[in-house]
A and B are shown apart, each in its own frame.
Chain A
Amino acid sequence: GAVVSQHPSWVICKSGTSVKIECRSLDFQATTMFWYRQFPKQSLMLMATSNEGSKATYEQGVEKDKFLINHASLTLSTLTVTSAHPEDSSFYICSARLRSGGSYNEQFFGPGTRLTVL
């Protein structure tokens, strides 16, 4: 149980194009999903928290107009990198929270999407 999928697993695009990444919770409903970015040999960096049916909450320094997040259903969140540039090349990872409140809050990660912008 608690499987999270991500699509695509890797993408190469030209500078200036937009890229959409999908994150799905396959066997549970996730009211909250998270988007992270990780550069080589660096820590996970939380970009935004996505709640179903409401606007995403972005971390300080993350441009919400550049990284568009939509969480339209309890099993799907999408991240769109708009007008991608080479500096956006990174490993993007989503995660879904199993249950909020109380003493749970386990997060399960998708396999990640490696984005390369040429």
Chain B
Amino acid sequence: QKEVEQNSGPLSVPEGAIASLNCTYSDRGSQSFFWYRQYSGKSPELIMSIYSNGDKEDGRFTAQLNKASQYVSLLIRDSQPSDSATYLCAVNRGGGFKTIFGAGTRLFVKA
């Protein structure tokens, strides 16, 4: 079992729709959860961090965390073609441990 699992996609949504990206993790001691966006040929960019159960909203992005289910998700509202990228889920248990990255989900937003 991978430590951080994501559906590789591609996930295709029409422009203006909500894109829902999901991630599960295996380490129950995980404390910090991150979503990165990576455009083709570029390095990852941190877009959301979440540390406690529930929802965290930032503009069109909402991160959701459920530690009991070991599940974290990212919702992108009003998806735009510019949102087309690979989204990486990352998890850290704190205390100086390294961050574990998922393999990423490719998102395509169709104009």
- Give the B-binding residues of A (Cβ under 8 A): 32, 34, 43-44, 46, 49, 91, 93, 95, 97, 100-112
Contacts and interface: CB of A to CB of B under 8 A. Distances in A.
- The listed residue with most B CB atoms (<10 A of its CB), out of A32, A93, A105, A106, is A105
B9 to A, nearest CB: 12
Interface in B85-110: 88, 90, 92, 94-99, 101-104
B69 interface: no
Interface residues of B, number: 25
B49 interface: yes
Contact of B43 (A104, A106, A109): A109
Interface in B55-101: 88, 90, 92, 94-99, 101
Contact of B31 (A95, A103, A107): A103
A73 B62 CA distance: 36
B104 to A, nearest CB: 6
Nearest to A45: B101
Contacts of A112: 42-43
13 contacts: A44-B44, A91-B41, A93-B43, A95-B44, A97-B99, A101-B96, A102-B94, A103-B32, A105-B92, A105-B94, A106-B32, A107-B90, A109-B43
A91 B44 CA distance: 12
A101 B101 contact: no
A101 B95 contact: yes
B96 A107 contact: no
A108 B34 CA distance: 11
A95 B88 CA distance: 15
Contact of B32 (A32, A91, A93, A104): A104
